[in-house]
Amino acid sequence: MPSFVIAEKCDGCKGQDKTACMYACPNDLMMLDKE
Q: Determine the pLDDT at residue 8.
A: 86
Q: Determine the pLDDT at residue 16.
A: 81
30/35 Cα distance (integer angstroms): 15
pLDDT digits (tens, 9 = 90+) for 1-35: 566 778 788 887 887 887 777 777 777 676 666 66
14/1 Cα distance (integer angstroms): 26
Q: What does the buried/exposed string (b/e) look like for 6-19 if buried means 16 or more CB atoms within 10 Å of the residue's CB?
A: eeeeeeeeeeeeeb
- The answer to pTM > 0.75 is no
Q: Determine the pLDDT at residue 35.
A: 66
